[in-house]
A and B are shown apart, each in its own frame.
Chain A
Amino acid sequence: MTKTVNQKAWLLVLPVFGIVAFSALLPLMTVVNYSVQDSFGNNQFFWNGIGWFQELLDPSSQLGERFFDALWRNLLFSAIILLIEVPLGISVALSMPRQGWTVAFCLVVMALPLLIPWNVVGTIWQVFGRGDIGLLGYAINRLGIDYNYTASPLAAWTTIVVMDVWHWTSLVALLCYAGLKSIPDAYYQAARIDGASPWAVFRTIQLPKMRRVLLIAVLLRFMDSFMIYTEPFVLTGGGPGNATTFLSIDLVKLALGQFDLGKAAAMSLVYNLIILATCWVFYTIMANVDAEHRPAGAAQDGAAETGAAAPSRTRVEADRRAT
């Protein structure tokens, strides 16, 4: 059988090309365009080649120093967030009830912080942490500890970390809980018969079975914390000084505060590439984990379903804020 060539089919695909070009390609190309030019306003542009990129990636230049400071700050923040939220999320999931009406109650309570808009979270904590009218700030100061997130970098960091933990730990916990629920009872019974301690049950059954959902949780939390903007912007505005100026805050300062469009465009492209690269690494790891499992042919393995759904989900979540 020979396939007939039908060029008219291109017409049917054309609208998709049009929409994608308009929604993704053109805005992106604008940024690329800015990143290789300099502008002094009046819509006058001068060719600058890779000059902005060279300056950005050179730590000895003013722009480079500023960029790398924000980058390390941001990486440190993501690391702290992951180190707290992942173990905390796992332990919350482990201590959640497995049946009865309390399950629904716990799930609703856990989901509540996830439903609050980012800037509202920032506002809540801004008020909550104030020394004069905020319950938290007032209480800490009354305990004799000097706490003022607008003056002390340590206090500002602590507040942002606690706020993020409060906001997002439930996401990790809910994902882990789903992973735990998919473990058949027979595993726990077999472990009891084998005389396994609770720690051994966690190490040999629960953690391995949660591995895939944990990967997703880590990916989501890394991405979100690496791109964090609204909450610290509302809470501290990047201060005191530059103490909480994360990459996205710095980018906005550069682009909208100083109107350095060329530098800002170069920075957003590098920023985007870092995120894409991380996404790709995670995606590869997850694909490998799945591939390792496939020869087992264990269709009865309840966790397999969660794993299969994983890649598409992460892509969607990552794209949501990367572009």
Chain B
Amino acid sequence: MARITLDHLAHSYAPEPRGPADYAVKEIDHVWEQGGAYALLGPSGCGKTTLLNIISGLVIPTHGRILFDDRDVTALPTEARNIAQVFQFPVVYDTMTVAENLAFPLKNRRVPRDVIAARTKEIAGLLGLERAVGRKARNLTADAKQKISLGRGLVRSDVAAILFDEPLTVIDPHLKWQLRSTLKELHRRLNVTMIYVTHDQTEALTFADKVVVMHDGAVVQMGTPEELFERPAHTFVGHFIGSPGMNVVPAEVEGATARIDGHAIHLRQSYPKLPERQRVEIGVRPEFAHLRPKGAGIPVQVRRIDDLGRGRIARVELAGRPLCASVAEGAVGIEGGEAALAFDLGQVHVYVDGCLVAGVPLAGPAP
């Protein structure tokens, strides 16, 4: 049990890193609170596995320190760190039974035999593996093997955190849900820090209390699933989270008025001093952009309407740019592909060079 602090951490696989492009993980300052359920979310190659391996001690960072509580563990080898890790592919020791697999980390640490037996039994019970304890681990299904991997981490009572490296990759879809809820349940009961690496936003958003979104080696936003959805700090987060992702359109913003392709939108906040000669965009999620009949907003061309089951999404074009908007239940009354967009003004964000800009609340009531 520990709080994990990343202190000015950075890592490069190049022996002599020159520019920022050489870094697999750019400088990060971050604290993982004890007992939290975190997800590290990002596309392949964004450095999330490297970061995980730095925490587990399989990779020694180029710069910075890692602290478990107040103890500096940067140079400590994996086995001295009280970390457990579950890998993408299930790792079980083929020749051993399930019980022997679970007991292995304790046996290596010379824990007394009766303690091992009790602990193994308890963890097998927690994971729902009681029936399989006597069986050879290699004959089990992939999800049971992943449970064993997890169990090998849980048996150690001193474990500081459990790291998951895309653990559901090889699990059948219908078992993914089950295993994920087992994980959540265990997290609730055991009060142990869990860090979960994934590129799947559904996994991240359903598992974690706090999601850390990484892009190109840097952390772009950390927050609860709601925050990531409602206030993406970066256009990348807007694109990456949500399906379909956030609409981002170039705009001219002056005070509380944004102009897209000459059409004015009155924002809820004012942006008095936007830097000049930089890319200014506004972002709005499809969920907050509504398709309306022609004349009731910014005119757009409707290309097609997709039924996603839980709702309908219109693919529209605004001045040659593809956007997505939600379509209300029932008919909308679109003639010849001509329609309009209306935004929930509270959910329209302004980005400069990809980063969210905080506005100034308007003094009087909105015009």
Give the CA-CA distance A293 to B137 in the complex, in Å: 11
Q: Which of B132-177 contact A (CB under 8 A)?
A: 138-142, 149, 152-153, 170
A158 contacts the other chain (CB 8 A) = no
Chain A binding surface, main DSSP class: helix
Interface size, chain B (Cβ < 8 Å): 29
Which residues of the other chain, A, contact B139 by a CB distance below 8 angstroms?
A: 292, 295-296
Smallest Cβ distance from A302 to chain B, in angstroms? 10
> Are A194 and B108 closer than 8 Å at their CB atoms?
yes
Smallest Cβ distance from B50 to chain A, in angstroms? 13
* Per-residue contact bits, chain B 61-85, to A (CB 8 Å; 1 contact, 0 not): 0000000000000000111000111
A116 contacts the other chain (CB 8 A) = no
A187 contacts the other chain (CB 8 A) = yes
> Are B142 and A195 closer than 8 Å at their CB atoms?
no
Q: Which of B10-18, B30-38, B93-101, B195-203 contacts A (4 or more CB under 8 A)?
A: B93-101
Interface size, chain A (Cβ < 8 Å): 23
> Are A193 and B108 closer than 8 Å at their CB atoms?
no
Smallest Cβ distance from B29 to chain A, in angstroms? 26
B88 contacts the other chain (CB 8 A) = yes
A258 contacts the other chain (CB 8 A) = no
A59 contacts the other chain (CB 8 A) = no
> Are B78 and A205 closer than 8 Å at their CB atoms?
no
> Are B79 and A193 closer than 8 Å at their CB atoms?
yes
* Per-residue contact bits, chain B 35-49, to A (CB 8 Å; 1 contact, 0 not): 000000000000000
* Per-residue contact bits, chain A 178-194, to B (CB 8 Å; 1 contact, 0 not): 00000010110110111
A194 interface neighbour in B56, B89, B94, B152, Cβ under 8 Å: B152
Smallest Cβ distance from B243 to chain A, in angstroms? 28
Which residues of the other chain, A, contact B104 by a CB distance below 8 angstroms?
A: 194, 196, 204
> Are B77 and A204 closer than 8 Å at their CB atoms?
no
Smallest Cβ distance from B336 to chain A, in angstroms? 53
Which residues of the other chain, B, contact A197 by a CB distance below 8 angstroms?
A: 108
> Are A190 and B89 closer than 8 Å at their CB atoms?
no
* Per-residue contact bits, chain B 267-306, to A (CB 8 Å; 1 contact, 0 not): 0000000000000000000000000000000000000000
* Per-residue contact bits, chain A 189-230, to B (CB 8 Å; 1 contact, 0 not): 110111111001000110011000000000000000000000
> Are B93 and A186 closer than 8 Å at their CB atoms?
no
Which residues of the other chain, A, contact B152 by a CB distance below 8 angstroms?
A: 190, 194
A297 contacts the other chain (CB 8 A) = yes
> Are A195 and B79 closer than 8 Å at their CB atoms?
yes
A300 contacts the other chain (CB 8 A) = yes
Smallest Cβ distance from B272 to chain A, in angstroms? 53
Which residues of the other chain, A, contact B84 by a CB distance below 8 angstroms?
A: 193
A296 interface neighbour in B83, B89, B93, B140, Cβ under 8 Å: B140
Which residues of the other chain, B, contact A296 by a CB distance below 8 angstroms?
A: 138-140
> Are A186 and B89 closer than 8 Å at their CB atoms?
yes
Which residues of the other chain, A, contact B85 by a CB distance below 8 angstroms?
A: 189-190, 193
> Are B94 and A186 closer than 8 Å at their CB atoms?
no
A133 contacts the other chain (CB 8 A) = no
Q: Which of B255-277 contact A (CB under 8 A)?
A: none
Smallest Cβ distance from A307 to chain B, in angstroms? 12
* Per-residue contact bits, chain A 256-297, to B (CB 8 Å; 1 contact, 0 not): 000000000000000000000000000000000000110111
Which residues of the other chain, B, contact A209 by a CB distance below 8 angstroms?
A: 94
Q: Which residue of A lies closest to B96 (CB)?
A: A204
A16 contacts the other chain (CB 8 A) = no
B1 contacts the other chain (CB 8 A) = no
Q: Which of B103-138 contact A (CB under 8 A)?
A: 104-105, 108-109, 138
A-B pairs, top 10 by smallest CB distance, nearest first, are: A195-B108, A186-B87, A194-B105, A190-B91, A195-B79, A204-B93, A192-B78, A208-B94, A208-B95, A186-B91
Besides A192-B58, A193-B105, 13 other CB < 8 A contacts?
A186-B87, A186-B89, A186-B91, A189-B78, A190-B87, A190-B91, A190-B152, A192-B79, A196-B108, A293-B138, A296-B140, A297-B141, A298-B142
Interface residues of B (CB under 8 A from A): 56, 58, 77-79, 83-85, 87-89, 91, 93-96, 104-105, 108-109, 138-142, 149, 152-153, 170
Interface residues of A (CB under 8 A from B): 184, 186-187, 189-190, 192-197, 200, 204-205, 208-209, 292-293, 295-298, 300
